[in-house]
Chains A and B, each alone.
Chain A
């Protein structure tokens, strides 16, 4: 033990982070300011601009059609949202919703191409798989530290940390979905002289759609589960209420804010799942 002194891994990581912060500072600043403003505009300008009751009715109507004209999801959405509004958590809900949407969108935009890349090459799969394992098992709090270093506090680092935590299922499921396409269909496609791109868009992606959607559903759920953690670095929303309640030991307030997250989670989950099965059915 004594022969080898403590390897300064922590020091290296810190140095690397500092180096990245210094080198790409201009880029981070740009993202922090402009992207931050954009997020704020979406949350406060657009979503909060819609009157609460209009928003609730809109979601209710959407739920009705998305669920195949059944009343269960519609009733739950309307009552759930009304409850959150009633608890005066509407603004928090809109902030959380915005965070989840941005984190999910970015995860999908980054995740799907990586998934495709993995599916196309065994080597890439071998390299990316352990990275994904790392991303998912590393305690999510750890991502907050570089997030703050790069982007300060607020919504942007919250989105950043959420993306790291939430993107892996989309990558994995995209890879899986494409690899699951039966060998004979790939042969059929090849036998007609498809290029790689034609094969991807005409056969592999359409066939993998259901699996990819399942991955995206997971990603959205994980992004939502990051809400509380992200609020520790100043991301506004329901998570912040939970943290505040924790600090003040207010069981009731914490529970109500938590309930708000659960309601949002269930609504988003059922929406994405229904979209998936509807498109898959023919």
Chain B
């Protein structure tokens, strides 16, 4: 079961918000509703599931409703309608006491401007969640200390937040959230206030921490590169609506509509796409079945100067060139063993495109994509360029 289930969640700001929800039924857009009723639509019928242990990124430009959405999930903002199930309990319908318990035990939040208490030391900040739960001092100090060490701030516990740099302050924010050992971490533009280098460092660290913690993380950002970097899945928002949910590849490769397409236009695709996305079905000959003549015939038909050779199980043996094959045909050789070349440029299906550039540059033949020793596909130079330009990419590995 998903750990967070969001169903038809909406937030409309302003008076008579309930009335305005009927315009959502009619499918009216944010602007029209504002004109008609004066109400601002924050979130419009959002539905999605977050699985345990994944980093789920909600991505959108400012005003898209992403920060409202994350606050609806821990009910810092009251939803106008809809449900948020955490572990199957509907947060939207809980009484105050149950809500407090869920906030204390299951959800922790990290804030854009850090949200640290300036009158408390780093340690006291990290202790806050445990203190609120009424855990006794020595135990909560130990836990807070542990989580501060986890983020590399073990030596700063008696400083005040004002004495730390932005990056370090956000580490305190993260440590404070982790000290509670929550099931879900809500991160609202957690790295957006940091400068680019520190931001990247924090992203790496978060991913590293996640390797061991396996928390469910709901991460809000307006930065697509960040979303693609850390997200297992991404939900794209516009005008309060969720436009598309998918893995980074799905979003890049199959944008759901023009808006998403425009959005992902400028992304450095070489960082996201892998060999799998740009390879095509290889023409091969079977070393046990085909001799030089049939190989030559095949190459002539397809207009190839080289062709890959496999065995019957598609295990890669090597390749042959047109020159060698026609020479062997003239000499009436029966098989391809004598002329087989094995200096094959190889990559895995997961090899990022960035790394393929170099390999393909030096390679005399198309790059072979090998999966478990078997030839899964080949990459030709043209495909790489096409992929960078944003076309002719496929998800299942082959051109249709």
Chain A residues at the B interface, C-beta cutoff of 8 Å: 184-185, 187-188, 190-195, 198, 202-203, 206-207, 209, 282
B141 contacts the other chain (Cβ, under 8 Å)?
A: no
CB atoms of A192 and B180 under 8 A apart? yes
Q: Chain B: interface secondary structure?
A: mixed
A206 to B133 CA separation, bound complex (whole angstroms): 19
B101 contacts the other chain (Cβ, under 8 Å)?
A: yes
A282 to B160 CA separation, bound complex (whole angstroms): 8
Q: A187-B76, A198-B132, A282-B160 are in contact. Are A192 and B103 (CB under 8 A)?
A: yes
For A194, give the chain B residue with the smallest CB separation.
Answer: B132
A218 to B160 CA separation, bound complex (whole angstroms): 30
CB atoms of A195 and B100 under 8 A apart? yes
CB atoms of A191 and B131 under 8 A apart? no
CB atoms of A207 and B119 under 8 A apart? yes
CB atoms of B119 and A206 under 8 A apart? yes
For A190, give the chain B residue with the smallest CB separation.
Answer: B76
CB atoms of A192 and B129 under 8 A apart? yes
Give min CB distance, B399 to chain A, whole Å: 49
Q: A191-B74, A192-B108 are in contact. Are A185 and B115 (CB under 8 A)?
A: yes
Chain B residues at the A interface, C-beta cutoff of 8 Å: 71, 74, 76, 99-104, 107-109, 111-113, 115-119, 128-129, 131-133, 160, 162, 180, 186
Give min CB distance, B144 to chain A, whole Å: 13
CB atoms of A191 and B76 under 8 A apart? yes
CB atoms of B132 and A188 under 8 A apart? no
Contacts of A209 in B (CB 8 A): 119
Contacts of B128 in A (CB 8 A): 192, 202
Residue of A188, A194, A195 touching B111 (CB-CB under 8 A): A188
Q: A193-B100, A194-B132, A207-B118 are in contact. Are A188 and B109 (CB under 8 A)?
A: yes
A185 to B173 CA separation, bound complex (whole angstroms): 12
For A185, give the chain B residue with the smallest CB separation.
Answer: B115
A56 to B112 CA separation, bound complex (whole angstroms): 53
Contacts of B133 in A (CB 8 A): 193
A230 to B107 CA separation, bound complex (whole angstroms): 57
A207 to B116 CA separation, bound complex (whole angstroms): 12
Known: A191-B74, A193-B129, A209-B119. 17 other contacts (CB 8 A): A184-B112, A184-B115, A185-B115, A187-B109, A188-B116, A191-B76, A191-B103, A191-B107, A192-B108, A193-B100, A202-B132, A203-B117, A206-B117, A207-B119, A282-B119, A282-B160, A282-B162
Residue of B100, B115, B119, B180 touching A188 (CB-CB under 8 A): B115
A195 to B101 CA separation, bound complex (whole angstroms): 10
CB atoms of B115 and A190 under 8 A apart? no
Contacts of A190 in B (CB 8 A): 76, 103
CB atoms of A193 and B117 under 8 A apart? no
CB atoms of A193 and B160 under 8 A apart? no
A20 to B103 CA separation, bound complex (whole angstroms): 50
A282 to B128 CA separation, bound complex (whole angstroms): 19
From A188, A195, A202, A282, residue with most partner B Cβ within 10 Å: A188
11 contacts between A and B (CB under 8 A): A187-B109, A188-B111, A188-B116, A188-B117, A191-B103, A192-B108, A195-B100, A203-B117, A206-B117, A206-B119, A207-B118
For A187, give the chain B residue with the smallest CB separation.
Answer: B76
Contacts of B100 in A (CB 8 A): 193-195
CB atoms of A193 and B119 under 8 A apart? no
Contacts of A203 in B (CB 8 A): 117
Contacts of A184 in B (CB 8 A): 111-113, 115
For B160, give the chain A residue with the smallest CB separation.
Answer: A282
CB atoms of B104 and A192 under 8 A apart? yes
A203 to B111 CA separation, bound complex (whole angstroms): 16
Give min CB distance, A169 to chain B, whole Å: 23
The 4 closest A-B pairs by CB, nearest first: A188-B115, A193-B103, A193-B104, A191-B109
Give min CB distance, A101 to chain B, whole Å: 28
CB atoms of B115 and A192 under 8 A apart? no
Contacts of A206 in B (CB 8 A): 117, 119
From B71, B100, B112, residue with most partner A Cβ within 10 Å: B100
A206 to B113 CA separation, bound complex (whole angstroms): 20
